[in-house]
Amino acid sequence: MGTTFFIIAILYFLPTIIAFIRKKTNAVSILLLNLFLGWTLVGWVIALVWSTAKDLQNKN
């Protein structure tokens, strides 16, 4: 039971994990999206795409 819960939690928070590993500037926003809307699958996919997308750099 504990192992199953751990695997499900890892898969659920995969976008957040990717965002923090890639040091995204908006990793906390991705975490919040993943936490509150990840259960809808659409929110999870959006968080996953956002976490893997390249950060835009400001050229001022």
pLDDT tens digits, 12-48: 999 999 999 999 999 999 999 999 999 999 999 999 9
Contact 30, 19 (CB under 8 A): yes
Element containing residue 40 per DSSP (H, E): none
Number of Cβ within 10 Å of residue 40's Cβ equals 10
pLDDT at 14: 97
Q: Measured on CA atoms in the order 46, 52, 58, 59, is the torsion positive or negative? A: negative
- Is residue 26 classed as helix, strand or coil in its secondary structure? coil
